[in-house]
Amino acid sequence: MSRIVEKFAELRQRGEGALIGYLTLGDPTPEDSLRLASCLAREVDILELGIPFSDPIADGPTIQGAIDRALRAGTNTDHCFEIAEKLRRRFEIPLVFMTYYNIVLQYGEERFVSRCREVGVDGLLVSDLPVEEARPLLKVCRRMGVDMIFLIAPTTTEERMNKILRSASGFVYLVSLLGTTGARERLSELTIEKTRWALRYVKELPLAVGFGISKPEHVRAVIEAGASGAVVGSAFVKIVEEEGAAACDRLRRLAAELKAATRLG
C-alpha cells in the first residue's frame, strides 16, 4: 500500500478530508523553496510539488509567476529531486510531483520514475499527458511503485472516465472548473455539482478536488459534498509571491485554517 493510499485511509478513519497543498519548487530560490515546503509540510496531509516548466499551459498567472521566478533562479529538474529528497528525510507525509510531460520526456521516463522512487516521491501527476498516451509511463510507474495520478474535468466523458479509472492510482484529481489554476473569491456551484457527478464514477479511489479552492469555506464545501480531499495551490503560491523567503508563518497559518475545515465532526 502506497503512502498516499495509507494517508487517505488514515484520514477516513478519523472522519477527515485531506488537505493537499501545492508549491512550485525553486520559488523564490531552490534554498528558500526547501524551507517553505518544509513549513507547509507541517500543516498539510499531502504535499504537491510543482517542477517548473517553461510553457505551463494549465496554470494561471499566479503559478506561472512562481514558475518564472523559479526558472530565473536557475531551478532545474535535478534541483527538484534534491529538494524532494531532503523533504523526505524530514517528513513522512506523501509527496507528489506535478509537472508537464516534456520534463519527464527530456529526463527519460525510466530515469525520472526511478529517481522518484529513490528520493521518496510517492505520486506523479503529468498535467498535459492524456491517458490515451500514458501507457509507457504508466507501466514504469507501476513497476517502480509510484502512483500515477490523473486529472478529470467537467467535460470528461463516461467512456474516458472509465479509461482513467482503470489507469489511475493514489487518487483522482477533479479539475472542478474549466480554465487554468487560480484562487477564486467564491466557490462555484459548478464545483459542488461536478464533485457529486464525479463521485458517481470514482468509487475505488479517493477523489481530490482542485482549481479555485482557496478559503476554509471552499474546503469544507467540497468535503461536505463527498470529496476525499481538497487541493489548494494558488493561495499558497500567492503568499510566496508577496512574502518571498519570509512566507513561512503565513503559509502555516493559512494551511492550519484550511486543514481545520476538513474536519466535519
- The residues assigned a catalytic role are 48, 59
Q: For residue 45, give the nearest of 247, 248, 229, 263 by alpha carbon.
A: 229
**Residue 22, Cβ neighbours under 10 Å: how many?**
24
**Residue 243, Cβ neighbours under 10 Å: how many?**
15
Block residue for cell numbers 503529468:
126
Q: Across the strands, what pairs with 22?
A: 48
| Spatial CB neighbours of 159, under 8 Å, sequence gap ≥ 6 | none
Q: For residue 197, give the nearest of 175, 182, 216 by alpha carbon.
A: 175
User: How far is Cα 208 from Cα 135, in angstroms, rounded to an integer?
Assistant: 23
Cβ 160 vs Cβ 177: under 8 Å: no
**Any alpha helices (H) in the chain, and if so which ranges?**
3-14, 30-41, 61-72, 77-90, 101-107, 109-119, 135-144, 158-167, 189-199, 216-224, 234-243, 248-260
Give the torsion through C-alpha atoms of 106, 107, 108, 112, to 10 deg. Answer: -140
User: How far is Cα 237 from Cα 214, in angstroms, rounded to an integer?
Assistant: 11
Q: For residue 8, give the nearest of 147, 151, 112 by alpha carbon.
A: 147
